[in-house]
Chains A and B, each alone.
Chain A
Amino acid sequence: MATFSLSNVGPIYRQEIRSYFQSPVAYVVIVVFLAIVGWFFTSDLFLINVASLRIVFELVPLVFLFFVPAITMRLLAEEKKSGTLELLATRPVRDVEIVLGKFFAAWTLLAAALAPTLIYLITLSALGSPDPGPVITGYLGLLLMGGVYIAIGIFASSITENQIVAFIVSLLIILALFMADKVLVFVPPAVASTLEFISIDYHFENIARGVIDSRNLIYFGSVLGFALLLATTSLERRKW
Protein backbone atom coordinates (compact mmCIF):
# COMPACT_ATOMS: atom_id res chain seq x y z
CA MET A 1 0.00 0.00 0.00
CA ALA A 2 2.86 2.33 -0.74
CA THR A 3 1.01 4.43 -3.28
CA PHE A 4 -2.59 5.41 -3.12
CA SER A 5 -3.96 5.15 -6.60
CA LEU A 6 -7.55 5.57 -7.73
CA SER A 7 -6.96 4.40 -11.29
CA ASN A 8 -9.84 1.91 -11.14
CA VAL A 9 -12.50 4.52 -10.47
CA GLY A 10 -12.58 5.18 -14.23
CA PRO A 11 -13.45 1.65 -15.41
CA ILE A 12 -16.08 1.25 -12.70
CA TYR A 13 -17.57 4.64 -13.57
CA ARG A 14 -17.76 3.78 -17.28
CA GLN A 15 -19.24 0.35 -16.55
CA GLU A 16 -21.95 1.91 -14.38
CA ILE A 17 -22.75 4.62 -16.93
CA ARG A 18 -23.05 1.94 -19.60
CA SER A 19 -25.33 -0.03 -17.35
CA TYR A 20 -27.56 3.03 -16.75
CA PHE A 21 -27.83 4.11 -20.36
CA GLN A 22 -27.98 0.67 -22.02
CA SER A 23 -31.05 -0.24 -20.01
CA PRO A 24 -34.28 1.76 -19.85
CA VAL A 25 -33.49 2.84 -16.26
CA ALA A 26 -31.83 6.14 -17.09
CA TYR A 27 -34.41 7.16 -19.67
CA VAL A 28 -37.40 6.29 -17.52
CA VAL A 29 -36.19 8.20 -14.49
CA ILE A 30 -35.12 11.21 -16.56
CA VAL A 31 -38.48 11.34 -18.35
CA VAL A 32 -40.47 11.02 -15.14
CA PHE A 33 -38.28 13.65 -13.49
CA LEU A 34 -38.71 16.11 -16.37
CA ALA A 35 -42.44 15.44 -16.63
CA ILE A 36 -43.01 16.34 -12.99
CA VAL A 37 -40.77 19.39 -12.94
CA GLY A 38 -42.04 20.54 -16.35
CA TRP A 39 -45.67 20.26 -15.36
CA PHE A 40 -45.20 22.50 -12.33
CA PHE A 41 -43.03 24.97 -14.24
CA THR A 42 -45.51 25.41 -17.09
CA SER A 43 -48.55 25.60 -14.83
CA ASP A 44 -46.80 28.39 -12.92
CA LEU A 45 -45.96 30.05 -16.19
CA PHE A 46 -49.37 29.88 -17.85
CA LEU A 47 -51.85 29.67 -14.99
CA ILE A 48 -50.32 32.11 -12.53
CA ASN A 49 -48.48 34.11 -15.18
CA VAL A 50 -45.23 34.09 -13.26
CA ALA A 51 -42.00 33.62 -15.17
CA SER A 52 -39.65 32.26 -12.54
CA LEU A 53 -37.28 29.39 -11.85
CA ARG A 54 -38.33 29.57 -8.21
CA ILE A 55 -40.54 26.54 -8.70
CA VAL A 56 -37.61 24.51 -10.01
CA PHE A 57 -35.54 25.21 -6.94
CA GLU A 58 -38.47 24.49 -4.62
CA LEU A 59 -39.71 21.41 -6.31
CA VAL A 60 -36.54 19.60 -7.39
CA PRO A 61 -35.29 18.95 -3.82
CA LEU A 62 -38.62 17.23 -3.17
CA VAL A 63 -38.46 15.18 -6.37
CA PHE A 64 -34.86 14.22 -5.51
CA LEU A 65 -36.19 12.57 -2.33
CA PHE A 66 -37.59 9.78 -4.51
CA PHE A 67 -35.50 10.18 -7.64
CA VAL A 68 -32.13 9.62 -5.95
CA PRO A 69 -33.01 6.46 -3.98
CA ALA A 70 -34.44 5.08 -7.22
CA ILE A 71 -31.16 5.51 -9.09
CA THR A 72 -28.86 4.44 -6.25
CA MET A 73 -30.74 1.48 -4.77
CA ARG A 74 -29.29 -1.12 -7.12
CA LEU A 75 -25.70 0.15 -7.21
CA LEU A 76 -24.26 -2.19 -4.57
CA ALA A 77 -27.28 -4.25 -3.50
CA GLU A 78 -27.51 -5.86 -6.92
CA GLU A 79 -23.80 -6.67 -7.02
CA LYS A 80 -24.11 -8.31 -3.64
CA LYS A 81 -27.18 -10.28 -4.59
CA SER A 82 -25.93 -11.54 -7.94
CA GLY A 83 -22.48 -12.30 -6.58
CA THR A 84 -20.68 -10.02 -9.04
CA LEU A 85 -19.26 -8.11 -6.09
CA GLU A 86 -17.02 -11.12 -5.61
CA LEU A 87 -15.74 -10.67 -9.16
CA LEU A 88 -15.01 -7.00 -8.51
CA ALA A 89 -13.52 -7.41 -5.07
CA THR A 90 -11.10 -10.14 -6.10
CA ARG A 91 -9.61 -7.91 -8.78
CA PRO A 92 -6.84 -5.52 -7.75
CA VAL A 93 -9.46 -2.88 -6.92
CA ARG A 94 -9.96 -1.08 -3.62
CA ASP A 95 -13.41 -0.96 -2.09
CA VAL A 96 -13.21 2.83 -2.04
CA GLU A 97 -12.65 2.81 -5.82
CA ILE A 98 -15.83 0.78 -6.28
CA VAL A 99 -17.81 3.24 -4.15
CA LEU A 100 -16.36 6.31 -5.88
CA GLY A 101 -16.89 4.94 -9.38
CA LYS A 102 -20.53 4.27 -8.66
CA PHE A 103 -20.97 7.61 -6.90
CA PHE A 104 -19.73 9.60 -9.88
CA ALA A 105 -21.84 7.55 -12.29
CA ALA A 106 -25.03 8.25 -10.35
CA TRP A 107 -24.04 11.90 -10.05
CA THR A 108 -23.60 12.06 -13.81
CA LEU A 109 -27.09 10.62 -14.30
CA LEU A 110 -28.49 13.21 -11.91
CA ALA A 111 -26.75 16.00 -13.82
CA ALA A 112 -28.09 14.56 -17.07
CA ALA A 113 -31.61 14.69 -15.66
CA LEU A 114 -31.11 18.26 -14.48
CA ALA A 115 -29.54 19.53 -17.70
CA PRO A 116 -32.74 19.69 -19.81
CA THR A 117 -34.33 22.02 -17.23
CA LEU A 118 -31.93 24.66 -18.53
CA ILE A 119 -34.47 25.01 -21.37
CA TYR A 120 -36.73 26.76 -18.86
CA LEU A 121 -33.95 29.23 -18.31
CA ILE A 122 -33.80 29.95 -22.06
CA THR A 123 -37.60 30.39 -22.06
CA LEU A 124 -37.38 32.79 -19.17
CA SER A 125 -34.57 34.78 -20.77
CA ALA A 126 -36.82 35.29 -23.78
CA LEU A 127 -39.59 36.61 -21.56
CA GLY A 128 -37.54 38.71 -19.17
CA SER A 129 -34.08 38.98 -17.74
CA PRO A 130 -33.55 36.62 -14.82
CA ASP A 131 -30.76 37.41 -12.38
CA PRO A 132 -27.95 34.99 -13.37
CA GLY A 133 -26.39 34.84 -9.87
CA PRO A 134 -29.06 32.88 -7.99
CA VAL A 135 -29.67 30.69 -11.05
CA ILE A 136 -26.05 29.55 -11.18
CA THR A 137 -25.76 29.03 -7.44
CA GLY A 138 -29.20 27.39 -7.43
CA TYR A 139 -28.03 24.78 -9.89
CA LEU A 140 -24.79 24.36 -7.95
CA GLY A 141 -26.88 23.85 -4.83
CA LEU A 142 -29.03 21.22 -6.56
CA LEU A 143 -25.92 19.33 -7.68
CA LEU A 144 -24.40 19.42 -4.20
CA MET A 145 -27.65 18.38 -2.59
CA GLY A 146 -28.05 15.58 -5.14
CA GLY A 147 -24.47 14.48 -4.43
CA VAL A 148 -25.19 14.19 -0.72
CA TYR A 149 -28.37 12.22 -1.43
CA ILE A 150 -26.49 9.89 -3.76
CA ALA A 151 -23.75 9.26 -1.20
CA ILE A 152 -26.45 8.36 1.32
CA GLY A 153 -28.20 6.20 -1.25
CA ILE A 154 -24.98 4.28 -1.94
CA PHE A 155 -24.52 3.70 1.77
CA ALA A 156 -28.09 2.36 2.00
CA SER A 157 -27.41 0.12 -1.00
CA SER A 158 -24.25 -1.22 0.67
CA ILE A 159 -25.96 -2.56 3.76
CA THR A 160 -28.41 -4.91 2.05
CA GLU A 161 -28.90 -7.28 -0.86
CA ASN A 162 -32.48 -6.11 -1.24
CA GLN A 163 -33.06 -3.11 -3.50
CA ILE A 164 -36.41 -2.24 -1.92
CA VAL A 165 -34.79 -2.12 1.51
CA ALA A 166 -32.03 0.07 0.06
CA PHE A 167 -34.66 2.41 -1.42
CA ILE A 168 -36.59 2.76 1.82
CA VAL A 169 -33.51 3.19 4.02
CA SER A 170 -32.07 5.92 1.82
CA LEU A 171 -35.46 7.63 1.55
CA LEU A 172 -35.78 7.66 5.36
CA ILE A 173 -32.28 9.05 5.95
CA ILE A 174 -32.68 11.70 3.27
CA LEU A 175 -36.14 12.60 4.53
CA ALA A 176 -34.79 13.02 8.07
CA LEU A 177 -32.08 15.38 6.79
CA PHE A 178 -34.61 17.23 4.67
CA MET A 179 -37.25 17.58 7.38
CA ALA A 180 -34.87 18.61 10.17
CA ASP A 181 -35.60 22.33 9.80
CA LYS A 182 -39.32 21.87 9.15
CA VAL A 183 -40.00 21.01 12.79
CA LEU A 184 -38.22 23.97 14.34
CA VAL A 185 -41.41 25.44 15.83
CA PHE A 186 -41.90 22.34 17.95
CA VAL A 187 -38.49 22.26 19.60
CA PRO A 188 -36.74 24.45 22.20
CA PRO A 189 -34.55 27.21 20.72
CA ALA A 190 -31.31 25.56 21.89
CA VAL A 191 -32.03 22.46 19.81
CA ALA A 192 -33.47 24.48 16.98
CA SER A 193 -30.17 25.95 15.82
CA THR A 194 -28.54 22.52 15.81
CA LEU A 195 -31.42 21.04 13.88
CA GLU A 196 -31.23 23.88 11.44
CA PHE A 197 -27.57 23.22 10.84
CA ILE A 198 -28.21 19.52 10.29
CA SER A 199 -30.97 20.23 7.79
CA ILE A 200 -29.88 19.90 4.20
CA ASP A 201 -32.66 22.16 2.96
CA TYR A 202 -31.41 25.04 5.13
CA HIS A 203 -27.99 24.89 3.48
CA PHE A 204 -29.50 24.48 0.05
CA GLU A 205 -31.71 27.54 0.47
CA ASN A 206 -28.72 29.60 1.53
CA ILE A 207 -26.85 28.65 -1.62
CA ALA A 208 -29.90 29.00 -3.86
CA ARG A 209 -30.34 32.54 -2.61
CA GLY A 210 -27.08 33.35 -4.37
CA VAL A 211 -24.76 33.31 -1.40
CA ILE A 212 -21.93 30.80 -1.44
CA ASP A 213 -20.88 30.52 2.15
CA SER A 214 -18.05 28.21 3.16
CA ARG A 215 -20.24 26.95 6.03
CA ASN A 216 -22.68 25.52 3.51
CA LEU A 217 -19.97 24.04 1.31
CA ILE A 218 -18.28 22.42 4.31
CA TYR A 219 -21.64 20.98 5.34
CA PHE A 220 -22.27 19.41 1.93
CA GLY A 221 -18.70 18.18 1.63
CA SER A 222 -18.56 16.61 5.06
CA VAL A 223 -21.96 14.86 4.89
CA LEU A 224 -21.12 13.57 1.42
CA GLY A 225 -17.67 12.38 2.46
CA PHE A 226 -18.98 10.78 5.64
CA ALA A 227 -21.70 8.86 3.77
CA LEU A 228 -19.17 7.56 1.21
CA LEU A 229 -16.85 6.55 4.04
CA LEU A 230 -19.70 4.64 5.69
CA ALA A 231 -20.51 2.93 2.39
CA THR A 232 -16.87 1.86 1.94
CA THR A 233 -16.67 0.62 5.52
CA SER A 234 -19.89 -1.29 5.07
CA LEU A 235 -18.51 -2.97 1.92
CA GLU A 236 -15.41 -3.95 3.88
CA ARG A 237 -17.57 -5.44 6.59
CA ARG A 238 -17.16 -8.87 4.97
CA LYS A 239 -13.54 -8.67 6.08
CA TRP A 240 -14.31 -8.21 9.76
Chain B
Amino acid sequence: MSIGVRNLVKRYGDRAAINDISFDVKTGEILGFLGPNGAGKTTTMKIITCYMPPTSGTVDVDGMDVREHSLEVRKKIGYLPEMNPLYFDMNALDSLEFAAELHGLRGNAMQQRVKEMVDVCGLEAVRHKDIGEMSKGYRQRVGLAQAMIHDPDVLILDEPTSGLDPNQIVEIRTLIKELGRAKTVVLSTHILSEVQATCDRVLIINDGIIVANGTPEQLQRTFQGAEEIGLELKTSSIRPIEEIIPKLKLVAYVNDVALLSHTGDVSKFEIHAEKGNDVRESLFRMAVSEGWIILEMQRRITSLEEVFHTLTTT
Protein backbone atom coordinates (compact mmCIF):
# COMPACT_ATOMS: atom_id res chain seq x y z
CA MET B 1 0.00 0.00 0.00
CA SER B 2 1.93 3.01 -1.22
CA ILE B 3 1.44 6.71 -0.62
CA GLY B 4 2.17 9.32 -3.24
CA VAL B 5 2.39 13.00 -2.39
CA ARG B 6 2.62 15.43 -5.31
CA ASN B 7 3.30 19.16 -5.15
CA LEU B 8 1.44 19.52 -1.90
CA VAL B 9 0.74 23.05 -0.68
CA LYS B 10 -1.21 24.11 2.38
CA ARG B 11 -1.70 27.75 3.22
CA TYR B 12 -3.16 29.18 6.38
CA GLY B 13 -4.02 32.68 5.30
CA ASP B 14 -0.82 34.12 3.91
CA ARG B 15 1.50 31.66 5.55
CA ALA B 16 2.35 28.46 3.71
CA ALA B 17 2.63 25.63 6.23
CA ILE B 18 3.83 23.32 3.50
CA ASN B 19 5.12 24.64 0.25
CA ASP B 20 5.22 22.29 -2.72
CA ILE B 21 6.43 19.01 -1.28
CA SER B 22 6.46 15.69 -3.12
CA PHE B 23 7.50 12.28 -1.90
CA ASP B 24 6.56 8.62 -2.08
CA VAL B 25 6.25 6.00 0.61
CA LYS B 26 6.67 2.49 -0.67
CA THR B 27 4.68 -0.49 0.53
CA GLY B 28 6.08 -1.92 3.74
CA GLU B 29 8.41 0.97 4.34
CA ILE B 30 8.81 2.83 7.63
CA LEU B 31 9.34 6.47 6.79
CA GLY B 32 10.59 8.88 9.43
CA PHE B 33 9.35 12.40 9.11
CA LEU B 34 11.81 14.71 10.73
CA GLY B 35 11.78 18.43 11.27
CA PRO B 36 11.66 21.16 13.87
CA ASN B 37 8.32 22.13 15.39
CA GLY B 38 6.18 24.03 12.93
CA ALA B 39 7.97 22.62 9.90
CA GLY B 40 4.79 21.16 8.42
CA LYS B 41 4.94 17.54 9.58
CA THR B 42 1.55 17.55 11.30
CA THR B 43 -0.12 19.45 8.47
CA THR B 44 1.10 16.89 5.94
CA MET B 45 -0.19 14.07 8.11
CA LYS B 46 -3.57 15.72 8.55
CA ILE B 47 -3.89 15.93 4.78
CA ILE B 48 -2.91 12.29 4.22
CA THR B 49 -5.46 11.18 6.82
CA CYS B 50 -8.22 13.24 5.16
CA TYR B 51 -8.72 15.50 8.16
CA MET B 52 -8.31 18.53 5.97
CA PRO B 53 -7.71 19.07 2.28
CA PRO B 54 -4.60 20.63 0.73
CA THR B 55 -4.66 24.10 -0.82
CA SER B 56 -3.24 22.51 -3.95
CA GLY B 57 -1.47 19.33 -4.97
CA THR B 58 -2.59 15.75 -4.54
CA VAL B 59 -2.14 12.85 -2.17
CA ASP B 60 -3.06 9.33 -3.14
CA VAL B 61 -3.11 6.28 -0.93
CA ASP B 62 -3.02 3.01 -2.82
CA GLY B 63 -3.85 4.94 -5.97
CA MET B 64 -6.91 6.64 -4.49
CA ASP B 65 -7.04 10.39 -4.18
CA VAL B 66 -7.68 11.59 -0.61
CA ARG B 67 -10.25 14.10 -1.73
CA GLU B 68 -12.21 12.04 -4.21
CA HIS B 69 -12.17 8.78 -2.25
CA SER B 70 -11.97 10.18 1.25
CA LEU B 71 -14.03 7.47 2.98
CA GLU B 72 -12.22 4.63 1.18
CA VAL B 73 -8.83 6.09 2.07
CA ARG B 74 -9.84 6.53 5.71
CA LYS B 75 -10.71 2.82 5.89
CA LYS B 76 -7.13 1.94 5.03
CA ILE B 77 -5.40 4.34 7.38
CA GLY B 78 -4.73 4.06 11.08
CA TYR B 79 -3.90 7.41 12.64
CA LEU B 80 -2.39 8.46 15.92
CA PRO B 81 -2.74 12.25 16.06
CA GLU B 82 -0.29 14.57 17.76
CA MET B 83 -0.76 14.73 21.56
CA ASN B 84 -2.71 11.46 21.34
CA PRO B 85 -6.22 12.79 22.00
CA LEU B 86 -8.46 10.20 23.69
CA TYR B 87 -11.79 10.13 25.49
CA PHE B 88 -10.53 10.40 29.04
CA ASP B 89 -13.85 9.42 30.60
CA MET B 90 -13.93 6.06 28.78
CA ASN B 91 -12.10 2.91 29.74
CA ALA B 92 -9.76 1.15 27.35
CA LEU B 93 -12.25 -1.52 26.29
CA ASP B 94 -15.11 0.91 25.60
CA SER B 95 -12.83 3.16 23.68
CA LEU B 96 -11.53 0.32 21.50
CA GLU B 97 -15.04 -0.99 20.93
CA PHE B 98 -16.17 2.45 19.84
CA ALA B 99 -13.26 2.71 17.39
CA ALA B 100 -14.03 -0.77 16.05
CA GLU B 101 -17.70 0.07 15.57
CA LEU B 102 -16.84 3.15 13.56
CA HIS B 103 -15.08 0.79 11.17
CA GLY B 104 -18.21 -1.24 10.79
CA LEU B 105 -17.15 -4.11 13.06
CA ARG B 106 -20.02 -5.52 15.10
CA GLY B 107 -20.73 -8.32 17.56
CA ASN B 108 -18.26 -11.19 17.73
CA ALA B 109 -15.95 -9.86 15.03
CA MET B 110 -15.62 -6.64 17.03
CA GLN B 111 -15.02 -8.41 20.36
CA GLN B 112 -12.42 -10.63 18.71
CA ARG B 113 -10.54 -7.74 17.23
CA VAL B 114 -10.64 -5.70 20.46
CA LYS B 115 -9.28 -8.67 22.38
CA GLU B 116 -6.47 -9.07 19.86
CA MET B 117 -5.44 -5.45 20.19
CA VAL B 118 -5.60 -5.63 24.00
CA ASP B 119 -3.20 -8.58 23.82
CA VAL B 120 -0.85 -7.12 21.22
CA CYS B 121 -0.61 -3.74 22.91
CA GLY B 122 -0.32 -5.14 26.43
CA LEU B 123 -3.47 -3.53 27.80
CA GLU B 124 -4.73 -6.57 29.69
CA ALA B 125 -4.01 -5.08 33.12
CA VAL B 126 -5.68 -1.73 32.47
CA ARG B 127 -8.53 -2.68 30.18
CA HIS B 128 -11.22 -1.57 32.66
CA LYS B 129 -9.40 1.53 33.78
CA ASP B 130 -10.49 5.00 32.67
CA ILE B 131 -8.05 6.42 30.16
CA GLY B 132 -7.84 9.62 32.19
CA GLU B 133 -6.33 7.64 35.06
CA MET B 134 -3.69 5.85 32.99
CA SER B 135 -0.01 6.68 32.74
CA LYS B 136 1.17 8.32 29.54
CA GLY B 137 2.76 5.10 28.40
CA TYR B 138 -0.51 3.21 28.65
CA ARG B 139 -2.40 6.03 26.98
CA GLN B 140 0.01 5.80 24.10
CA ARG B 141 -0.70 2.06 23.91
CA VAL B 142 -4.43 2.74 23.82
CA GLY B 143 -3.81 5.32 21.09
CA LEU B 144 -1.85 2.80 19.05
CA ALA B 145 -4.41 0.08 19.68
CA GLN B 146 -7.27 2.25 18.46
CA ALA B 147 -5.23 3.32 15.43
CA MET B 148 -4.67 -0.37 14.59
CA ILE B 149 -8.14 -1.61 15.44
CA HIS B 150 -9.22 -2.13 11.82
CA ASP B 151 -5.90 -3.70 10.77
CA PRO B 152 -5.07 -0.82 8.41
CA ASP B 153 -2.46 -1.15 5.68
CA VAL B 154 -1.11 2.31 6.40
CA LEU B 155 -0.17 3.72 9.78
CA ILE B 156 0.31 7.45 10.29
CA LEU B 157 1.84 8.22 13.68
CA ASP B 158 2.37 11.82 14.72
CA GLU B 159 5.08 11.94 17.38
CA PRO B 160 4.20 8.59 18.91
CA THR B 161 6.83 8.79 21.65
CA SER B 162 6.61 12.41 22.71
CA GLY B 163 6.27 12.95 26.42
CA LEU B 164 7.25 9.42 27.39
CA ASP B 165 10.06 8.39 29.70
CA PRO B 166 13.05 6.53 28.22
CA ASN B 167 11.72 3.08 29.16
CA GLN B 168 8.31 3.79 27.71
CA ILE B 169 9.93 5.14 24.55
CA VAL B 170 11.74 1.86 24.04
CA GLU B 171 8.51 -0.09 24.66
CA ILE B 172 6.46 1.96 22.23
CA ARG B 173 9.22 1.86 19.63
CA THR B 174 9.36 -1.92 19.85
CA LEU B 175 5.59 -2.05 19.56
CA ILE B 176 5.63 0.15 16.45
CA LYS B 177 8.29 -2.02 14.87
CA GLU B 178 6.29 -5.15 15.58
CA LEU B 179 2.98 -3.72 14.44
CA GLY B 180 4.49 -2.06 11.41
CA ARG B 181 6.16 -5.14 10.08
CA ALA B 182 3.72 -5.73 7.26
CA LYS B 183 2.51 -2.16 6.97
CA THR B 184 3.41 1.11 5.41
CA VAL B 185 4.28 3.45 8.26
CA VAL B 186 4.88 7.17 8.35
CA LEU B 187 5.98 8.48 11.71
CA SER B 188 7.01 11.96 12.67
CA THR B 189 9.40 12.78 15.43
CA HIS B 190 12.05 15.18 16.46
CA ILE B 191 13.98 12.56 18.35
CA LEU B 192 16.75 11.64 15.97
CA SER B 193 17.81 8.42 17.58
CA GLU B 194 14.26 7.25 17.03
CA VAL B 195 14.65 7.59 13.29
CA GLN B 196 17.89 5.65 13.39
CA ALA B 197 16.28 2.96 15.54
CA THR B 198 13.04 2.49 13.63
CA CYS B 199 13.01 3.96 10.15
CA ASP B 200 14.05 2.65 6.74
CA ARG B 201 14.09 6.10 5.26
CA VAL B 202 14.17 9.66 6.53
CA LEU B 203 12.57 12.78 5.19
CA ILE B 204 13.78 16.01 6.71
CA ILE B 205 11.38 18.89 6.31
CA ASN B 206 12.00 22.49 7.24
CA ASP B 207 9.81 25.55 6.72
CA GLY B 208 7.42 23.56 4.58
CA ILE B 209 9.95 22.15 2.14
CA ILE B 210 11.83 18.88 1.99
CA VAL B 211 15.52 19.43 2.63
CA ALA B 212 16.73 15.85 2.66
CA ASN B 213 15.45 12.41 1.71
CA GLY B 214 17.28 9.13 2.09
CA THR B 215 18.24 6.31 4.44
CA PRO B 216 19.84 7.42 7.72
CA GLU B 217 23.19 6.09 6.44
CA GLN B 218 22.89 7.92 3.13
CA LEU B 219 22.19 11.17 4.88
CA GLN B 220 25.15 10.73 7.17
CA ARG B 221 27.41 9.99 4.24
CA THR B 222 26.15 12.90 2.18
CA PHE B 223 26.55 15.37 4.97
CA GLN B 224 29.74 13.91 6.33
CA GLY B 225 32.37 16.62 6.43
CA ALA B 226 36.09 15.95 6.62
CA GLU B 227 37.27 12.80 8.39
CA GLU B 228 37.83 13.37 12.03
CA ILE B 229 39.75 11.03 14.28
CA GLY B 230 40.33 11.23 17.99
CA LEU B 231 43.66 9.77 19.07
CA GLU B 232 45.12 9.22 22.50
CA LEU B 233 48.77 8.26 22.63
CA LYS B 234 51.17 7.15 25.30
CA THR B 235 54.78 7.74 24.43
CA SER B 236 57.27 5.35 26.00
CA SER B 237 59.63 8.03 27.24
CA ILE B 238 58.82 11.63 27.78
CA ARG B 239 59.35 13.36 24.49
CA PRO B 240 58.60 16.94 23.62
CA ILE B 241 55.18 17.29 22.09
CA GLU B 242 56.67 19.35 19.28
CA GLU B 243 58.21 16.19 17.95
CA ILE B 244 55.01 14.20 17.71
CA ILE B 245 52.77 16.57 15.83
CA PRO B 246 54.98 16.98 12.75
CA LYS B 247 55.29 13.20 12.55
CA LEU B 248 51.52 12.76 12.60
CA LYS B 249 51.22 15.37 9.89
CA LEU B 250 53.43 13.23 7.68
CA VAL B 251 50.75 10.53 7.46
CA ALA B 252 49.09 10.56 4.04
CA TYR B 253 45.86 12.65 3.72
CA VAL B 254 46.20 14.17 7.16
CA ASN B 255 45.52 17.89 6.87
CA ASP B 256 45.72 19.08 10.39
CA VAL B 257 46.53 17.85 13.86
CA ALA B 258 45.31 19.59 16.96
CA LEU B 259 46.55 18.88 20.47
CA LEU B 260 43.67 18.57 22.89
CA SER B 261 45.56 17.76 26.10
CA HIS B 262 48.95 16.72 27.22
CA THR B 263 49.78 15.33 30.62
CA GLY B 264 53.02 13.54 31.36
CA ASP B 265 53.49 10.97 28.65
CA VAL B 266 49.83 10.85 27.53
CA SER B 267 48.61 13.18 24.79
CA LYS B 268 45.27 13.58 23.08
CA PHE B 269 44.95 14.72 19.51
CA GLU B 270 42.25 15.54 17.06
CA ILE B 271 43.26 14.65 13.54
CA HIS B 272 41.53 16.02 10.46
CA ALA B 273 41.98 14.15 7.23
CA GLU B 274 40.70 14.61 3.72
CA LYS B 275 37.07 13.63 3.17
CA GLY B 276 36.55 10.01 2.26
CA ASN B 277 39.93 8.75 3.41
CA ASP B 278 40.26 6.44 6.36
CA VAL B 279 43.65 7.19 7.85
CA ARG B 280 43.38 4.93 10.89
CA GLU B 281 45.58 2.21 9.44
CA SER B 282 48.37 4.62 8.51
CA LEU B 283 48.19 6.17 11.95
CA PHE B 284 48.52 2.76 13.53
CA ARG B 285 51.61 1.94 11.44
CA MET B 286 53.18 5.27 12.31
CA ALA B 287 52.61 4.63 16.01
CA VAL B 288 54.15 1.18 15.79
CA SER B 289 57.24 2.41 13.99
CA GLU B 290 57.67 5.23 16.53
CA GLY B 291 57.02 2.96 19.50
CA TRP B 292 53.96 4.89 20.68
CA ILE B 293 51.13 3.12 22.40
CA ILE B 294 47.63 3.86 21.14
CA LEU B 295 45.29 4.13 24.11
CA GLU B 296 42.30 5.20 22.09
CA MET B 297 41.49 5.81 18.49
CA GLN B 298 38.02 6.77 17.34
CA ARG B 299 36.58 7.75 14.00
CA ARG B 300 33.97 10.45 14.48
CA ILE B 301 30.96 10.04 12.24
CA THR B 302 28.65 12.94 11.54
CA SER B 303 25.59 12.13 13.57
CA LEU B 304 22.08 12.56 12.30
CA GLU B 305 21.80 15.33 14.87
CA GLU B 306 24.46 17.29 13.05
CA VAL B 307 22.85 16.62 9.67
CA PHE B 308 19.54 17.77 11.07
CA HIS B 309 21.08 20.83 12.65
CA THR B 310 22.89 21.83 9.45
CA LEU B 311 19.77 21.43 7.35
CA THR B 312 17.24 23.11 9.58
CA THR B 313 19.15 26.17 10.74
CA THR B 314 20.32 28.84 8.40
Contacts and interface: CB of A to CB of B under 8 A. Distances in A.
Contacts, number: 68
A82 interface: yes
Interface string B95-112: 000110111100000000
A7 interface: yes
Given A83-B83, A238-B51, A1 B71 contact: yes
Contact of B86 (A8, A84, A89, A91): A84
Contacts of A18: 90, 94
Interface residues of A, number: 26
A189 interface: no
A92 B103 contact: yes
A23 to B, nearest CB: 6
A87 interface: yes
Nearest to A94: B71
B209 to A, nearest CB: 24
Determine chain B's interface SS by DSSP, over half rule: loop
A11 B98 contact: yes
Interface residues of B, number: 29
A46 to B, nearest CB: 41
B53 A239 contact: yes
A131 interface: no
A153 B88 CA distance: 23
Contact of B81 (A19, A87, A94): A87
B102 A84 contact: no
Interface of B: 46, 49-53, 71-72, 74-75, 77, 79, 81-83, 85-90, 94, 98-99, 101-104, 146
28 contacts: A1-B71, A8-B102, A10-B101, A11-B98, A14-B98, A15-B87, A15-B90, A18-B94, A19-B87, A22-B89, A82-B85, A83-B81, A83-B82, A84-B86, A84-B87, A87-B79, A87-B85, A87-B99, A88-B102, A89-B50, A89-B51, A91-B99, A91-B102, A91-B103, A92-B71, A92-B74, A92-B103, A239-B52
Interface of A: 1, 7-8, 10-12, 14-15, 18-19, 22-23, 82-84, 86-94, 238-239
A87 B146 contact: yes
Interface centre among B79, B82, B85, B90 (most CB of A within 10 A): B85
A4 to B, nearest CB: 11
Contacts of A82: 85, 88
Contacts of A89: 50-51
A57 B75 CA distance: 48
A92 B99 CA distance: 10
Contacts of A15: 87, 90, 98
A122 to B, nearest CB: 36
